[in-house]
Amino acid sequence: MTNSGRRCESWTLKAVRLLCALAALTALVVQPARPALALDQSWLVLSPQAKAIVEANRPETDETPREGLLALFSNLLYDYTDFRDEPNPNRLRMDPAVSGEAGAELDEWSISRAKAVEEVDLLFGAMKYGYAGYQFFGGDEVFETAKSRILKEMSQYSQSIPLWNYSHMIATSLEFIQDGHFAIGNRSPCQWHTFRVNPYLRFFLDDDGRFVNGNGIRLASINRADPSSFLKPSIDEYGGIVYVLGMLVPDQQADLMCELEYEDGSMEMAWLVPIVSLDHGGPVYELGEVEGLPLLSCRSFDSVSDEDQSLIKFVQDADKLRHEKVILLDLRSNHGGSTVYGMLWCQRLMKGSAGLSTFTAELATDTAIALNLNRLAERREEELGADEIKAMRMYWKNAEDPSRQGWCRISIEHGRQTSNAPFIVVIVDSNTGSATEALVRRLRSVDNVAIIGTNTRGALLCGNTGIFALPHSGLEVRIPTMLWLDSEMQNRDGMGYLPDFWVHPDHALEYGVKFVKKHLVPDQGAPR
């Protein structure tokens, strides 16, 4: 997981949030609005066919009282009663000199069983007191069972354990952690999913709502089941709505073949191939146009790599785009960074917040603080000064909830659904992750939005990823110290958010423009 893919909502990001907000308010240059797609002053809305598809992929209206949601969220936080077995923070500190000395004692490819046992004990202590998802994924019972399983497997070795096998047994024992930010070495236990599709077959809906092929022959079944389970709405090269044969499956699943049976008695076999998302390059942010439509291309929300402050311009541009008929927002290959830019962009474009209610809890334990200090030093590529460390520890401790030991106060952002914005076409792929998925989550609650591409990465459950290195093997461990859920209370890590229209990312922008021309119509009943 790259640095840009980690969401950082600690004191440093709160400072960034304030700076961005001030910059966006004081440095704004309002430019004349561009010509709209239509000459009238009405909103543009989806055609009935497209609208039905989009609405079926949206969250249901939140009817649970906020107090009930808060109680549900609170139950997902570990209840610390004492800290007697919490690791000494000094054991978690990433000191290159100490790590080098420890590594020099080892054979290059193995670790002694005694040292492995010591490391596993430290690892599970760090997870108990530093991992915000500890209770979410089962708490003491589940994690202690995993620890026992690792120790039992290690007991098969008389003296030393090959490092590759050592890291493998740890990662496989933690496969219940479906968290896109958690990692042991270069391994993530999260089960990632990829969309597989047959690129040759297309289907349509007839007047009776039945699926037919290009010759008008109705489908009876796919793999002896209802075809609707296998057919996904898509867009063709002309902007028309079609249905493709595809499935979202675990990455390691073997090749897939589907058996199609038609009502005329004929049958057909079809292979499904994975869609691979390439990394789209380009500037951090760029405002351009395609066929007269404004195009916002944003490849990162990482403020550290944004030396020219283009992300501040991304926020500012929302004001002058508010009067557009249509906006194309290209988020392909945006691995994430800070959630603040997407939040401010939505607020300025829609003159208010958007999205479901969200609940955020940060750990304030000594372990979590040590992990976050390591991360900050890593990002700065230098050791933190003593005064800085003292100030940061004071920040986290001052934020601690007096009624819940080890946790900062729960932060609640009240959400709402809105349609007070231009029509937004959002282009995503499987490299759209973390903080960028938080923006996608907001936009899913906006009425006039269509999402085109593939499923997003699936790395949104946790954030504030702290780090430390196991003292003997040198394996780096990445442990998120913040839990973040919306009112759906669902973990989407590994699968991500599903698009409204499944289109290969290489064609998503081109087909999206044609879709806009074909399926947006004036809403005469809603003047602007």
| Whether the Cβ atoms of residue 245 and residue 197 lie closer than 8 Å to each other | yes
Which pLDDT score is estimated for 246? 97
Q: Which of 41-55, 188-202, 333-347 has the lowest mean pLDDT?
A: 41-55
Tokens for 460, please give them: 């949104």
Cβ contacts of residue 158 below 8 Å, gap of 6+?
Answer: 113
Answer yes or no: is pLDDT of 153 > 90. Answer: yes
Give the C-alpha separation, 434 to 125, whole Å: 26
All CATH 3.90.226.10 domain ranges in the chain, comma separated: 1-27+275-351+420-458+494-522
Provide mean pLDDT across the span 409-431.
88
Rounded to 5 degrees, what angle do the CA atoms 447, 452, 453 make? 150
Residues 239/515, Cβ–Cβ less than 8 Å: yes
pLDDT for the residue numbered 279: 86
pLDDT at 307: 63
Q: Which has the higher per-residue pLDDT, 502 or 103? A: 502
Lookup: tokens for 91:
């054991």
Residues in the chain: 528
Kindly state the helix (H) or strand (E) to which residue 397 belongs, with its residue range.
Answer: helix 386-398
The CATH code of domain 1-27+275-351+420-458+494-522 reads 3.90.226.10
Residue 106 has pLDDT above 80, yes or no: no
Quickly tell me which residue has 């075809």 as its tokens. Answer: 227
Return the pLDDT at 103. 40
pLDDT score, position 102: 41
* Chain segment 81-102, per-residue pLDDT in tens: 999 999 999 999 886 334 334 4
CA atoms 401, 403, 404, 410: torsion sign: negative
Distance (Å, rounded) from C-alpha 432 to C-alpha 298?
10
Is it the case that residue 37 has pLDDT exceeding 60? no
CB 330 within 8 A of CB 297: yes
131-149 pLDDT, tens digit per residue, is: 999 999 999 999 999 999 9
How large is the C-alpha radius of gyration of the chain? 25
Is the pLDDT reported for residue 35 higher than 60? no
pLDDT tens, residue by residue, 453-491: 999 999 999 999 999 999 999 999 999 999 999 999 999
Taking the C-alpha atoms of residue 18 and residue 198, their distance in angstroms, rounded to an integer, is: 47
**At 257, is the secondary structure helix, strand, or coil?**
strand
**Is the per-residue pLDDT at 62 higher than 70?**
no
The secondary structure of residue 171, as a DSSP letter, is: H
Question: 61: pLDDT confidence band, cut at 50, 70 and 90?
Answer: low
Instruction: Quote the DSSP letter at residue 37.
Output: S
How far is residue 349's CA from residue 318's CA, in Å, rounded to a whole number? Answer: 5
